[in-house]
């Protein structure tokens, strides 16, 4: 048998736990998406008008990186490259292939 005061405490604890889970999920999704790779906004240009990703890879190679792979990250081309034994993520604008951001891993 649950006493009224005990039932209220259980409800408060469960409500607080549920709120913490929801808040954690929201922050986890938005926070990790925003900071997963660090850079996502390179252009507002429609994807049909983007230059080929292979050209972003070629630019990275011209800078001395050994390109491992590339992918689309937000509105950027994210190129993974190794230079002097260190891994880098390079973010290029698909609009003009300008280098927008670099992260050393």
Per run of 10 residues, the mean pLDDT along the chain (length 105 residues) is 59 52 40 53 95 98 98 96 98 97 95
Q: Parallel, antiparallel, or unpaired for β 66-73 and 86-92?
A: unpaired
The pLDDT of residue 33 is: 39
Domain boundaries, the chain: 1-36, 47-104
pLDDT of residue 39: 84
The 3 state secondary structure assigned to 4-62 is HHHHHHHHHHHHHHHHHHHHHHHHHHHHHHHHCCCCCCCCCCCHHHCCCHHHHHHHHHH
How confident is the model at residue 22, as a pLDDT? 39
**What pLDDT sits at residue 24?**
46
CA distances (Å), origin 22, targets 10, 13, 75, 89 = 18, 14, 28, 32
Which of the listed CATH numbers 3.10.450, 1.10.3470, 3.30.70, 1.10.10 matches domain 47-104? 3.10.450
């Amino acid at each position: 048998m649950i006493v009224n005061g005990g039932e209220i405490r259980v409800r408060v604890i469960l409500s607080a736990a549920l709120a913490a889970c929801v808040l954690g999920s929201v922050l986890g999704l938005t926070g990790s998406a925003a900071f997963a790779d660090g850079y996502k906004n390179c252009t507002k240009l429609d994807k049909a008008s983007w230059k080929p990703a292979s050209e972003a890879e070629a630019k990275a190679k011209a800078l001395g990186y050994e390109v491992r792979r590339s992918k689309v990250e937000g509105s950027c081309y994210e190129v993974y490259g190794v230079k002097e034994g260190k891994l880098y993520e390079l973010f290029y604008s698909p609009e003009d292939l300008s280098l927008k951001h670099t992260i050393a891993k």
